[in-house]
A and B are shown apart, each in its own frame.
Chain A
Amino acid sequence: MDLGELAACMGSLPCVITQVSAGLTIGLLLFLVASGLTLIFGVLGLVNFAHGTLYMLGAYFALSAYELTESFLVATLAGTLGVAVFGLLMERTLFRRIYGADVLMQLLVCYAVILIMDDVVKIVWGGDFLKMDMPETFRRPPLLIGGGIVPLFYLVLFGITLAVALLLALGMSRTRFGRTVRAAAVNPAMVASLGVNTSFVFAAVFAVGSGLAGLAGALSAPIRSVVPGAGVSILIESFIVTVIGGMGSIGGALAAALLIGLTRSFGSIGFPLFTEGLMFLMMAAILLVKPSGLAGKHLA
């Protein structure tokens, strides 16, 4: 524990800015993964333990696309759309069979997917740590904002993630499809009786949730190592986020993800050996006060 260090950082604006930007980066990536997880749980009743695998695949797809094209845009799209399509195929063949099933059954199926995909990734990309090169455009000295150090790529990441969060929130509340999704989350049988093909709606939701995880993976590829099994730690953090935010709540996921991101970032100064534990303490404290999480159990 190093509380003196933490206090010193809190007292210096540059240090606070540096840590906040790092914390937001962690938090926003986490939000992308957790929002898909919470959407899939809220609408489909599936606890998608394989969600981290989708994140990992997004990173690998982006990496390969970047090696081929040297284009950040293409890499990001490949990670997002590639994983959305992969998720759609998995949904049609596998996951749709376990909606609303016993959570142990869901765990079993998802765990199989995790193990199989980890091996597939090892066969295709090898087992070593890989890293996507930072795209040329963003390869500049970090910005100095108020004395704090903020890499340019972080700002790109903030912009993309916040735009996606906004689109998702608007899509769920303002579009007819989003309203149908929210109704189907609560009462799929009635929605079907009105002539809506709920199976199609569910597939689309799974694809969107997968795409969000893929996007997170793609955006993480230039700043984190890409490695088989990378999905596991982000999965656990995403679960913490969904539990803190309230299962099924996208707004709650955003708040919780930022909280966790900042906890990790500042925690790494004050409690360098205990950052992981800190997240769980945070979760326990919030659940003691509000057992259903920050935003209860409502969508969007």
Chain B
Amino acid sequence: MSGPVSELAVDGLDAAYGTSQVLFGVSFEVGRGETLALMGRNGAGKSTTFKAIAGVLPPRAGRVSLRGDDVAGRKPYRIARCGVAYVPEDRQVFPEHTVEENLEIAQKRGLDGGVGWSVARAFDSFPLLVPLRRRLAGRLSGGEQQMLTIARALMGNPAVLLLDEPSEGLAPLIVAEIGRLIRELRAAGTTIVLAEQNSRFCLAVATRVAVIDKGSIVWSGNVAQFQADPTVQSRYLQV
């Protein structure tokens, strides 16, 4: 490979649910500090791509390289420890734990010299969660749960953050707050992959775009190229 090694490189990823194959050779790369929007219609394979990267659905073939190290097929907890944090589209907070406990469970073991995320730092970065500290996560609104899952994902100090539809179904105010957080994380050097159908939100926060259709990447480029190419939008993104 020429140039610097990508933070995350997915190469020829195949994945299936039982006998029905859903991903067919998905390939893309994301450099450190980039935010890639993975866009595609309903059922195109965005969530499945994330599950395959995170190891929740072990891929049938292909490579998932983190700074050149292939982690495909490893157990989810090992992939998480290699620096991948996965925020599923249905959020999956621990409903019977408080907000603070949700964060605490996710905190990386053995913090080295306090450089990483801590519960206190999470509350600094997510001020809307502060008054909800002792509330059961199951009692939060959708937007509050979304912020909690992002904060929880950060507790493991990830190098790569996979966010599945973080803006879906949320009030505009919360969407704006999540957009602010994503830009802040990018500025801090976190590599982010964002699965979305909502192109307005994506284009506001992403640096690059990859379009997935029927389980394969059919287009990729930067945001300006995407906006200058009306055919990709009409062919792959509109219903």
What is the interface of chain A, defined by CB distance below 8 A to chain B?
Answer: 176, 179-180, 182-183, 186-187, 189-198, 298
What is the interface of chain B, defined by CB distance below 8 A to chain A?
Answer: 54, 56, 75-77, 80-81, 85-86, 88, 92, 94-97, 101, 104-106, 108-109, 152-153, 155-156
Residue from B86, B96, B101, B105 in contact with A196 in the complex, judged by beta carbons closer than 8 Å: B105
Minimum distance in angstroms from A292 CB to a CB of chain B: 16
Tell me the complex Cα distance, A187–B76, Å: 14
A179 and B104 in contact, given A192-B75, A193-B86, A196-B77 (Cβ under 8 angstroms): yes
Minimum distance in angstroms from A96 CB to a CB of chain B: 14
Q: A191 near B105 (CB under 8 angstroms)? A: yes
Residue from A189, A194, A197 in contact with B105 in the complex, judged by beta carbons closer than 8 Å: A194
Minimum distance in angstroms from A140 CB to a CB of chain B: 47
Residue from A176, A183, A197, A198 in contact with B94 in the complex, judged by beta carbons closer than 8 Å: A183
A176 and B104 in contact, given A182-B96, A186-B96, A194-B155 (Cβ under 8 angstroms): yes
Tell me the complex Cα distance, A196–B80, Å: 8
Tell me the complex Cα distance, A182–B97, Å: 9
Q: B96 near A194 (CB under 8 angstroms)? A: no
Q: For the A-B complex with A179-B105, A186-B95, A194-B106 known, give 14 more contacts whose Cβ atoms are closer than 8 Å.
A: A176-B104, A179-B104, A183-B97, A187-B94, A190-B92, A190-B94, A193-B76, A193-B86, A194-B85, A194-B105, A195-B108, A195-B156, A197-B77, A298-B96
Minimum distance in angstroms from B206 CB to a CB of chain A: 23
Tell me the complex Cα distance, A10–B88, Å: 60
Which residues of chain B have C-beta atoms less than 8 A from A193's C-beta? 54, 56, 76-77, 80, 85-86, 88
Minimum distance in angstroms from A92 CB to a CB of chain B: 16
Tell me the complex Cα distance, A110–B188, Å: 53
Minimum distance in angstroms from A175 CB to a CB of chain B: 10
Least CB separation from B107: chain A residue: A176
Minimum distance in angstroms from A104 CB to a CB of chain B: 23
Minimum distance in angstroms from B16 CB to a CB of chain A: 18
Least CB separation from B82: chain A residue: A195
Which residues of chain A have C-beta atoms less than 8 A from B86's C-beta? 193
Q: B76 near A189 (CB under 8 angstroms)? A: yes
Which residues of chain A have C-beta atoms less than 8 A from B77's C-beta? 192-198
Tell me the complex Cα distance, A197–B74, Å: 12
Least CB separation from A299: chain B residue: B96
**Among the interface residues A180, A191, A194, which one has the most CB atoms of the partner chain B within 10 A?**
A194
Q: B80 near A195 (CB under 8 angstroms)? A: yes
Minimum distance in angstroms from B210 CB to a CB of chain A: 22
Minimum distance in angstroms from B181 CB to a CB of chain A: 18
Which residues of chain B have C-beta atoms less than 8 A from A298's C-beta? 96
Minimum distance in angstroms from A42 CB to a CB of chain B: 12
Tell me the complex Cα distance, A193–B85, Å: 7
Q: B94 near A186 (CB under 8 angstroms)? A: yes
The 3 closest A-B pairs by CB, nearest first: A195-B80, A194-B106, A183-B94
Tell me the complex Cα distance, A141–B56, Å: 62
Q: A179 near B76 (CB under 8 angstroms)? A: no
Tell me the complex Cα distance, A186–B156, Å: 20
Which residues of chain B have C-beta atoms less than 8 A from A189's C-beta? 56, 76
Q: B101 near A179 (CB under 8 angstroms)? A: yes
A176 and B96 in contact, given A190-B88, A194-B152, A195-B156 (Cβ under 8 angstroms): no
Listed A/B pairs (15) with beta-carbon separation below 8 Å: A176-B105, A179-B105, A187-B92, A190-B92, A192-B75, A193-B56, A193-B88, A194-B80, A194-B152, A194-B156, A195-B81, A195-B106, A195-B108, A195-B109, A196-B77
Which residues of chain B have C-beta atoms less than 8 A from A197's C-beta? 77
Tell me the complex Cα distance, A192–B76, Å: 6
**Among the interface residues A191, A195, A196, which one has the most CB atoms of the partner chain B within 10 A?**
A195
Tell me the complex Cα distance, A197–B106, Å: 12
